Amino acid sequence: MSSALAFQTAAQLSDQLAARQMSAVELAQACLAQVRATDGRINAFLSLDEADILAQARESDARRAAGQARSPLDGVPVGLKDVIAVRNQPLTCGSRMLEKFVSPYDATAALGLKNAGAVLFGRLNMDEFAMGSSTENSAYKTTANPWDTSRIPGGSSGGSAAAVAAGQVPVSLGSDTGGSIRQPASLCGIVGLKPTYGLISRYGLVAYASSLDQIGPFGHTVEDVAMTLQTIAGHDEKDSTSFRTEIPDYRAALAQRRGPWKLGVPKEYFGEGLAPEVRASVEQAIAWYRAQGCEIREVSLPHTEYAVSAYYIIATAEASSNLARYDGIRYTHRSAKSTDAIDIYHHSRAEGFGPEVKRRIILGTYVLSSGYYDAYYGRAQKVRTLIRQDFLDAFREVDALLTPTSPTVAFKKGEKTANPLEMYLADIFTISLNLAGLPGVSVPCGFSPEGLPIGLQIVGRPFQEAELLAIAHAYERAHDFNTKHPAL
């Protein structure tokens, strides 16, 4: 972006639009220029419809000129992970299977942004069908971490995180099934929120594991995340798991709720495998809260060690069912080799899905098969209940929990691709929240000696995003980690 605008927050850009210091078209042009200048190295975008972006920006300017700006986000560009449907835009999910698919309708979250006047800006790279932790499972390209382009940005919403971290868009949306918002936010040095399961409609979010999936925002600040959340949260008749709950003013809550809070530190999250530089930064953040008068208590989440196993049974089981619809018959890739119906299924799925997706379909089909269902899927569901109960017990004593987001800083491209299990462990601190349905936010809390970002995860009570974001905001305001940006 012309350097004057790149890395500004959505709140700052919103003020400038309101004061007519620039137009939405100028802002969109600046974002397009930053994408042109940097995306050859970052590879955050799968596609970008320039004409459509400028048309949306012109409409925003016309509304503002008529005194009809719809929200603070009117005219602000928002990037979307390529798994959230936008009418007449591609929806590849990072898969060859949907290479030519164009969405006929808007996801409810996309519609929320449109109704707020935001400019929907491009389609962002991701691991195929959101399965992965690095974007290396994308069928199209691997996104680079803006802080060190030889490293991964995290995943599966790696494009959404990298685009914000590289100053290409001020905010973006991702989806989080086991950590796919919080982990890339942490590795890219920005803020990422996974809301409570049910706060945001999943209508138009292509399903990976329906009982775990949730859409959420990325931004440079907690305030930007709060503003974006405001436009997408709320009950939707089109998603029967979306919850009827009062939606507070999240941005206003940041200043209103000031603590001091009772904060829990789960001892299971500080064991083996946690990189020393991550531990040191997270411990400093905990010490800061204590110095502000917060009561810090050690708590225990005893079933933590079973979370990765339970997750990879439940998530793959749901995925094997959800992905059955990609059969080559209707809107997906159809193999040229096919002659009869069964052949069409076989060849189209063999050609359309990448190796990680196939691995998960096979695993998920296995754990659901008769004779194994009780031993795997049934037991994993019981473990899931115990994990949720652990959190609810902890929340009887404390308002929120403080943990690392990721056990390490961003790793090198290729470092974990040969070993799926090692890749799965990248989500060890994030997946329990999806199993329990809880909200979690990652905020920057330091840098490693080589200058790579570190994230603090704060876990909140169900539907208490206003409190959770206020706790994160208090920390952010007193530190300057989020004001540092990569040299591109």
Show which residues are catalytic.
Answer: 81, 156, 180
> For ligand GLN, which residue of 35, 130, 164, 165 counts as binding (CB under 6 A)?
130
Residue 130 C-beta: closest distance to ligand GLN, Å: 4
> For ligand GLN, which residue of 177, 201, 332, 432 counts as binding (CB under 6 A)?
177
Using the rule CB under 6 A, is 214 a contact of ligand GLN? no
Residue 137 C-beta: closest distance to ligand GLN, Å: 8
Using the rule CB under 6 A, is 132 a contact of ligand GLN? yes
Using the rule CB under 6 A, is 172 a contact of ligand GLN? no
Pick between residue 152 and residue 299 the one whose CB is nearest to ligand GLN.
Answer: 152
Pick between residue 140 and residue 208 the one whose CB is nearest to ligand GLN.
Answer: 208
> For ligand GLN, which residue of 156, 160, 196, 405 counts as binding (CB under 6 A)?
156
Listed ranges 1-9, 130-138, 222-230, 253-261: which one lies at the site for ligand GLN (CB under 6 A)? 130-138
H helix intervals, 292-430: 307-322, 341-352, 355-368, 379-394, 420-424
Residue 277 C-beta: closest distance to ligand GLN, Å: 22
CA-based nearest residue to 410, from 190, 154, 167, 191: 154
Q: Whole-angstrom distance between the N-terminal and C-terminal Cα of the chain?
A: 11
> For ligand GLN, which residue of 56, 103, 125, 133 counts as binding (CB under 6 A)?
133
CA-based nearest residue to 426, from 415, 435, 436: 415
Pick between residue 167 and residue 178 the one whose CB is nearest to ligand GLN.
Answer: 178
Total binding residues for ligand GLN by CB under 6 A? 13
Which two tokens mark 470?
């206020």
> For ligand GLN, which residue of 80, 85, 111, 131 counts as binding (CB under 6 A)?
131
Question: CB within 8 A of 114, min separation 6: which ones?
Answer: 106, 120
> For ligand GLN, which residue of 159, 178, 198, 439 counts as binding (CB under 6 A)?
178
What does 140-180 look like in DSSP terms, one character per residue?
S-PPPBTTBTTB---SSSHHHHHHHHTTS-SEEEEEESSST
Which two tokens mark 215?
């859409």
Q: Residue 59 to residues 18, 30, 48, 66, 124: CA-CA distances in angstroms?
A: 15, 17, 18, 11, 23
Using the rule CB under 6 A, is 432 a contact of ligand GLN? no
How many Cα atoms are found within 13 Å in the side-chain-facing hemisphere of 482? 28
Pick between residue 155 and residue 486 the one whose CB is nearest to ligand GLN.
Answer: 155
| Residue 203 DSSP SS3 | coil
Indicate if the alpha-carbon torsion angle 93, 98, 100, 101 is positive or negative.
negative
Site for ligand GLN in 299-358 (CB under 6 A): 315
CA 373 to chain centre: 30
Binding residues vs ligand GLN (CB under 6 A): 130-133, 156, 176-180, 208, 315, 427
